[in-house]
Amino acid sequence: MGAHDTGIDGLAAAARAALVREIDADGAWAGEPVWREAFATVPRHLFVPYYYVAGRGGYERRWGESPEREARERWARGAYADVPLATRLRDGELLSSSSQPSLMARMLVALRVEEGDRVLEVGAGTGYNAALLAHRLGDDDLVTTIDLEPEITESARQHLAAAGYHPVVVTGDGARGVPERAPFDRIIATCALPTVPRAWLAQCRPGARVLTPLATGLLALTVRDAEHAEGRFLPSAAYFVPLRGEGRTEPEEVSLAGLPGRAREQDLFRFLCALARGTLEPQGAYALWEREGEPDRGRYGVTVAGEHVWAWLDDPEGPYLWPLP
């Protein structure tokens, strides 16, 4: 989008204000207006110069430099919809996306960022989340973001610069962290992981907070030291593109055929199956889930202790414990 296109600039500003009002109504700020100001200021459209919208015939590419004004307007309005935006595809597979803004707001509030915190973001994506963090902290050098794909980190760096932010962008395996930028007070992942990488704890200060997607939930851990961390899942569901890197595997799909339950109940049960995969058969897991009152995500947690990582229901001491990889 050219700088002279003031009509599109104005449309984007109005759409951004509408998005902030929508997130306001959703209650995502949770009494932290500093994040409202960040979302009202950081221009999301600069981080998605093009994106893909799924349709019946495949994906439609929306582009901010389209020669057709109507197409540019659709792009600008869509950039501020409260939905995830597909930004990179390869052979029909989603490689990268810009997360749903209201979910991003809830995650950033749950991260409990304080002034002066050093933050590591795993999964650079478009750079938008790193820009929000840099805006909130008021110091670009406090924010580090990492992604495995050089194309993703290069485009994130360009988007950030275009919006006036310059956090440190690193190309590498996010599961290994960024030791040269440690220690961190907060780590936030915007990609799904099968477990909690031990390298993260070693790069955290005692008392640090880690927020990461795991098994279609959001796990919030408090780090005690390099070997120990513990915490619970937030109540809300979260679906993210899996982390790519050395030794990463895709989660197994769990079949719920023949099991009763409405969509919400099946979602909560699938979460238990994802946490306890390889330990419980679906029928046994369903019996446990029903017996324990159909627990939601907030009743589950994870403990890291040395070489051992396990998920649990209600109590880290048991009786319901499931080892994670």
CA-CA distance, 186 to 179, in Å (whole number)? Answer: 14
| b/e map 263-283, b = 16+ CB within 10 Å | eeeeebbbbbbbbbbeebebe
In the block, residue with structure tokens 């799924």: 54
Whether the CB-CB separation of 289 and 298 falls below 8 Å is answered with no
For residue 220, the one-letter residue type is A
96 is catalytic: yes
End-to-end CA distance of the chain: 45
Q: Under DSSP, is residue 145 helix (H, G, I), strand (E, B) or coil?
A: strand
Using CA atoms, how far residue 148 sits from 154, 176, 179, 314, in Å, is 11, 11, 15, 35
Question: What are phi and psi for residue 251, nearest 5 degrees?
Answer: -65, 145
Catalytic residue list: 96
